[in-house]
A and B are shown apart, each in its own frame.
Chain A
Amino acid sequence: SAVISQKPSRDICQRGTSLTIQCQVDSQVTMMFWYRQQPGQSLTLIATANQGSEATYESGFVIDKFPISRPNLTFSTLTVSNMSPEDSSIYLCGSKNRHTDTQYFGPGTRLTVL
């Protein structure tokens, strides 16, 4: 199994600012994902982080708002840009290897925007 850590675990930010969330996996993985989980809701996929190329975004999410980096097979960042209170949520990182079925999740970053 993969162990995933995220930093920061939580943050309180002012509207209009940006926050970068880091995701570190303890082993090389083929696929990394970023999710949002709003209060009382399940997970919604924001994008798939691709190593060496631009991330693949889901409908409703755009690169200008959620720029993603993936410089290698164990690390990725998600930036929440120009934040508003509607961005208050938990952001989770997920990882999966191409030839296995299980996706593992980080503990999440709880973001509050004032």
Chain B
Amino acid sequence: KNQVEQSPQSLIILEGKNCTLQCNYTVSPFSNLRWYKQDTGRGPVSLTIMTFSENTKSNGRYTATLDADTKQSSLHITASQLSDSASYICVVSPYNQGGKLIFGQGTELSVKP
């Protein structure tokens, strides 16, 4: 069964600190893996997208990594800001399934001053 699991479920860090969120998946084969940020009361917004052959992708203070051998991805946030408080969702797109997405349950990040 195609699954995406994230850890930790929730995380509290101080402003300015770094953090790393984890994603393990069983989806195979897959077209791409994305990390989305979802602010409270908003729809998810794409942060990074990686194909099977990519190992790392950065978007400002966000850096995503992908290890296709171990089926793991991580999202590293550098120098966190209060506005980083949100849910971060790992999403995998199975290969050749018409754009369907498999969502992780998300990591709820809270950045405190």
The interface of chain A, by Cβ under 8 A from chain B, is 4, 31, 33, 41-45, 48, 92, 96, 98, 101-108, 110
Contacts and interface: CB of A to CB of B under 8 A. Distances in A.
Given A31-B98, A31-B99, A41-B105, A101 B44 contact: no
Contacts of B27: none
18 contacts: A4-B43, A31-B99, A41-B105, A42-B89, A43-B103, A45-B100, A48-B100, A92-B43, A101-B31, A101-B32, A101-B93, A104-B43, A104-B46, A105-B44, A107-B41, A107-B43, A108-B43, A110-B41
Given A42-B89, A96-B99, A108-B43, A102 B49 contact: yes
B49 A45 contact: no
Interface of B: 31-32, 34, 41-46, 49, 89, 93, 98-101, 103-106
B46 A102 contact: yes
- The secondary-structure label for the interface of chain A is strand
Nearest 10 A/B pairs, CB to CB: A105-B43, A42-B103, A42-B105, A96-B99, A43-B103, A107-B43, A105-B44, A106-B43, A42-B106, A31-B99
Contacts of B98: 31, 48
A43 B42 CA distance: 13
A107 B106 contact: no
A42 B41 contact: no
Nearest to B103: A42
